[in-house]
């Protein structure tokens, strides 16, 4: 008894590709005083964040915000205020910073 087996090839459907939405990432840097040492620290922080933005293909730079001001008075930190406004508009998904205190 020979049974005839018929095979049917079912081709796999191509997987749907969903566009990867990049995160809009910003960085916030702040130093308290306008001294050479602290300005150098600020530059190093900016360079570090630029490097992170360019090395991560899933990130889109939303900018680097930087202030030279005391951490105690939030109103005098103009870039911090600009960054918060951008967050409220939805143009920033993630903020990177060196440290969070106060």
| Residue 94 or 4, more confident | 94
Work out the percent of the chain whose per-residue pLDDT is above 90.
Answer: 66
Q: What is the Cα 56 distance to its own chain's centre?
A: 9
Please say if the pLDDT value at position 27 is more than 80. Answer: yes
Q: Which domains does the chain have, with CATH numbers?
A: 23-97 (3.40.50.1390)
Residue 49 CB burial class (10 angstroms; 0-12, 13-18, ≥19)? buried
Residue 7 CB burial class (10 angstroms; 0-12, 13-18, ≥19)? exposed
Confidence class of residue 98 from pLDDT cuts 50, 70 and 90?
confident
Report pLDDT for 8: 73
pLDDT tens digits, one per residue of 39-79: 999 999 999 999 999 999 999 999 999 999 887 777 789 99
């Amino acid at each position: 008894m020979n049974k005839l087996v018929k095979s049917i090839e079912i081709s796999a459907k191509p997987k749907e590709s969903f566009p990867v939405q990049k995160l809009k990432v910003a960085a916030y840097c702040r130093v308290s005083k306008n001294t050479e040492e602290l300005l150098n620290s600020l530059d190093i922080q900016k360079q570090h964040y630029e490097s992170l933005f360019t090395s991560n293909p899933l990130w889109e730079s939303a900018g680097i915000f930087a202030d030279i001001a005391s951490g105690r008075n939030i109103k005098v930190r103009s870039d911090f205020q600009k960054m918060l406004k951008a967050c409220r508009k939805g143009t920033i998904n993630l903020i990177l910073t060196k440290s969070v205190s106060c």
